[in-house]
Amino acid sequence: MIVRNLEDKEVLDTTYLAHGGAIAQMVLDRRVLKEIGFLACATLEKGNAIEPHVDPMEEIYFIMSGEGEMTVGEDTRHVVQGDAIWIPAGSAHSLVNTGPNVCFILVVASPAW
């Protein structure tokens, strides 16, 4: 069993700027996972955006807190705490924090292997 906390050194050591606007960390990744690409968390400050980008893997963004405008392909929707957004592999996607508070997101990615 592997248990990771968001405050663990292994998680904090992976901190990076994700797609221009979010501060992200890899909670679990290829260092330990066998079939799933990764589980990451991201903090998106008020007014910041995860810029439009394309990833070669299927992803799910899960809004843990906050809200924003999520775009996947040509579809844009308002998303709030508790929403899970499926992003097909190869689809352009972005998220803008339009709310008054920080938006906290979990991201799960799964390559097609």
CATH number for the domain spanning 63: value is 2.60.120.10
Residue 111 confidence (pLDDT): 81
How do residues 15-66 score in pLDDT, each as one tens digit? 999 999 999 999 999 889 988 999 999 999 999 999 999 999 999 999 999 9
Number of domains forming the structure of the chain: 1
13 Cβ neighbours under 8 A, 6+ residues apart: none
pLDDT of residue 112: 66
Provide the residue range defining the domain that includes 40: 9-110
Tell me, yes or no, whether 3 lies in a domain: no
Q: Quick check: is 1 in a domain?
A: no
Please count the other Cβ atoms lying within 10 Å of the Cβ belonging to residue 99.
Answer: 19
